[in-house]
A = this chain, B = another copy of it.
Amino acid sequence: MNNVRIGMIGYKFMGKAHSNAYRATPMFFPDAWKPEMKVICGRDAALLEQARAQFGWEEAVTDWRELVQRDDVDLIDINAPSNVHKAIAIAAAEAGKHVFCEKPLALTLADAKEMLTAAEQAGVKHMIGFNYRFAPAVQLARKLIQQGRLGRIHHFRAVFLQDWIMDPSFPLVWRLDKEVAGSGSHGDLGAHLIDMARYLVGEFREVVGMSETFVKQRPAAAAMTGLSAKGDVASELGEVTVDDATLFMARFACGALGSFEATRFAGGHRCTNAFEVNGSKGSIKFDFERMNELQVFFTDDAEDVQGFRRVLATDPAHAYMDAWWPPGHTIGYEHTFTHEVLELMKALEENRQPSPSFADGVKCQEVLEAVERSVSERRWVALQELQDGN
């Protein structure tokens, strides 16, 4: 048994989610390798120390460049804002550290590819944080498709609907700033949909998209954090430089048709990350707001009792669930991270690449950028274009 010594950069929403996962893994999956919460890193020393104490890290440091060089750290966890992912990931890889990076991998496809190359050349393990894969209901979805129980896939349709910025007086937080966030709903929410589609249905062939920013100016925030703004909100307005909503359609390599929508303007939807897959032998539906459930339909059920089954994915037959509570006792959002960390630990133990890796991050970025190009040029864009470096 081995401990994996973690150095984590970032201590806000994702830093908290990751910390919780590092705390939970040893208790619920005691046979796996164990993450050791060694160093937490951030820029604001006071807030950082507070996070360190609260989350349970041994040490806090403010310079990530020093951190990635330390001998007593095995893995760098990057959950700082998206615009610093690249520099840290490359430095960490070059320093021989494994890297676990939040999504989106980078602000551009070119950057993402550089990160993947750096990690591969350094021979380190790399993982990207598409945590929704690790909901047991999603694992069941994947299993049903992989085992052919849904037959040939015809349709994938997915939405990620939120409503947290509908109020025009909501301030300009960093997630609304293209310089820092790269994009808006597209990179933040759409990225999850794209990864889910790839995980379930396979690679994209071509896409066509559209985007909109409904509220084009917002009050500037004095101090911006991820999802909210602290302190006084300035009276002056600033430009929103990212999309409020992005939709696109896709054709998959396997021939399936895809429909995607990410928006932060869907009133009543706090976090509707939902998809449906239709195959020749069955269908599945998932909605993250009811993340313990998968709706499953089989065309070969007896004719008089065909219907979508509400499967509560909390039985021992479902991934990860024998580690938690008895059937019917649900888990929540944070557990997707615990399972993600478990998979990371397992991959390190077995000396293989974790999944999803930076390669998946690159593939996701390809689709994100293909959609952006499609939006900008108002045409279908084949993924091949981006793969060819055009």
Contacts and interface: CB of A to CB of B under 8 A. Distances in A.
Interface residues of A, number: 95
Residue among A159, A279, A297, A299 with the highest chain B CB neighbour number at 10 A:
A297
A163 B297 CA distance: 12
A70 interface: no
A265 B296 contact: no
Interface in A298-319: 298-299, 301, 303-312, 314-315, 317-318
Chain A binding surface, main DSSP class: mixed
Contacts of A309: 301, 305-310
A212 B257 contact: yes
Given A210-B257, A307-B309, A326-B164, A154 B265 contact: yes
B267 A299 contact: yes
> In the assembly, how many copies of this chain are there?
4
Interface in A317-332: 317-318, 324-332
Contacts of A373: none
Contacts of A247: 249, 257, 259
B268 A306 contact: yes
A257 to B, nearest CB: 6
Contacts of A140: 304-305
A297 B332 contact: no
Contact of A307 (B20, B257, B261, B312): B312
A272 B328 contact: yes
B307 A245 contact: no
Given A267-B282, A280-B166, A326-B13, A143 B307 contact: no
A72 interface: no
Contact of A269 (B255, B328, B335): B328
A315 B304 contact: yes
Contacts of A261: 155, 157, 259
Nearest to A246: B257
A17 interface: yes
A352 interface: no
B303 A315 contact: yes
Contact of A245 (B155, B161, B269, B324): B155
Contacts of A30: 53-54
Contact of A289 (B259, B312, B335, B378): B312
B23 A27 contact: yes
Residue among A259, A290, A317, A380 with the highest chain B CB neighbour number at 10 A:
A259
Contacts of A279: 267
Residue among A54, A227, A268, A380 with the highest chain B CB neighbour number at 10 A:
A268
Given A27-B54, A269-B278, A307-B312, 10 more contacts: A26-B54, A144-B305, A154-B265, A155-B245, A212-B257, A270-B326, A304-B318, A306-B315, A331-B334, A378-B380
Sort A-B residue pairs by CB-CB distance and give the 7 closest, nearest first.
Answer: A271-B328, A270-B328, A268-B297, A307-B309, A307-B311, A332-B332, A329-B333
22 contacts: A17-B325, A143-B304, A144-B305, A164-B326, A208-B208, A249-B249, A267-B280, A267-B297, A269-B328, A270-B315, A270-B328, A271-B328, A271-B329, A272-B328, A289-B328, A289-B330, A292-B332, A301-B309, A304-B315, A304-B318, A325-B334, A331-B333
Interface of A: 13, 17, 19-20, 23-24, 26-27, 30, 53-56, 140, 143-144, 154-155, 157, 159, 161-164, 166, 208-210, 212, 214, 227, 245, 247-249, 251, 255, 257, 259, 261, 263, 265-272, 276, 278-283, 288-292, 296-299, 301, 303-312, 314-315, 317-318, 324-335, 378-380
